[in-house]
Amino acid sequence: MSNQEKDRFNNHEAFDDKKLETLNSEQGEKIKENLERNVENKSHEALEDARKEALEQAATVEKKHEVKREQSPAERRGPLTKKERDRSFDNTMDEVRSQMSGPSRAFSKIIHNKTVEKVSDTIGGTVARPNAILSGSIFAFIFTLVIYLIARYNGYPLSGTETIASFAIGWVLGIVFDYFRVLVSGKTQ
């Protein structure tokens, strides 16, 4: 071995400061490049993993809410079936409820329950007919006013049942009127 090689390996003072700095900066640059490459690869891998996960979630949500292709009215012959109407109603209610607040959503579920709707429709079609209620209230107002004026003129006290009784009489007259109107015209509303 030559003296120069001995100096280079055995003697620390033989190294030049400038060479050390350049070697240091070169090694630093290489390390920096490797780190950037690793970070870039890891971020690319993380993005790829996130994309795959998003696609998987979208596929599961799509399968969950998969809607069968509806035929157009021209392709489908005949009226809608009860099952199709119920499915359409449920889809619409789910969509509308998703935009409601919690208490409104709970109230909607109670009100739009099949049993509650049937009872409401039955009462609305028989006892609580709009014409019957309207005629009951008009008759109650007029009859109570007449009775009040007569009682006040003659000095008689009122018992309080006059309004309720006159509403009941007006309601019965409204139901009878509706019944005959339907008999004559054949239309319910």
Question: Do residues 106 and 145 both lie within one domain?
Answer: no
Counted domains in the chain: 3
Residues 93 and 149 in one domain: no
Judge whether 132 and 175 are in contact, CB under 8 Å.
Answer: yes
Reading the block at residue 77, the tokens are: 């012959």
Q: Are residues 52 and 94 in the same domain?
A: no
Which tens digits make up the pLDDT trace of 131-188?
888 989 999 999 999 999 999 999 999 898 999 999 999 999 989 988 888 888 877 6
pTM: 0.44
Q: Is residue 135 part of a domain?
A: yes
**Is the residue at 157 inside a domain?**
yes
Task: Provide CB contacts within 8 A for 163, sequence distance 6+.
Answer: 140, 144
Decide if 74 is inside a domain. no
Asked if the model's pLDDT at residue 48 lies above 90, the reply is: no
Rounded CA separation 106/134 (Å):
32
Q: Are residues 154 and 93 in the same domain?
A: no
Report whether 144 contacts 166 (CB < 8 A). yes
End-to-end CA distance of the chain: 117
Residues 93 and 130 in one domain: no
Regarding whether 92 and 33 lie in a shared domain, the answer is: no
Residues 118 and 185 in one domain: yes
- Nearest Cα residue to 126 out of 114, 137, 138, 118: 118
**Contact assessment for residue 140 and residue 167, using Cβ atoms and an 8 Å cutoff:** yes
Asked if the structure places residue 129 within a domain, the reply is yes
Q: Are residues 89 and 122 in the same domain?
A: no
- Based on the domain organization, do 124 and 153 belong to the same domain? yes
Task: Compute the chain's Rg from CA coordinates.
Answer: 44
In a domain, 75, yes or no: no
Claim to verify: residue 125 and residue 182 sit in the same structural domain: yes
The DSSP symbol for 15 reads S
Assigned domain for 176 exists: yes
Do 48 and 93 lie in a common domain?
Answer: no
Q: Encoding tokens for residue 177?
A: 């009127």
Q: Does residue 70 fall inside a structural domain?
A: no
The mean of the pLDDT values for the chain is 78
DSSP letter (8 states) at residue 100: S
Residues 106, 150 within the same domain = no
Does residue 186 lie in a domain region? yes
Range of the domain at 90: 80-112
- Examine the pLDDT at 33 and tell me if it is beyond 70: yes
Residue 39 has a pLDDT of 63
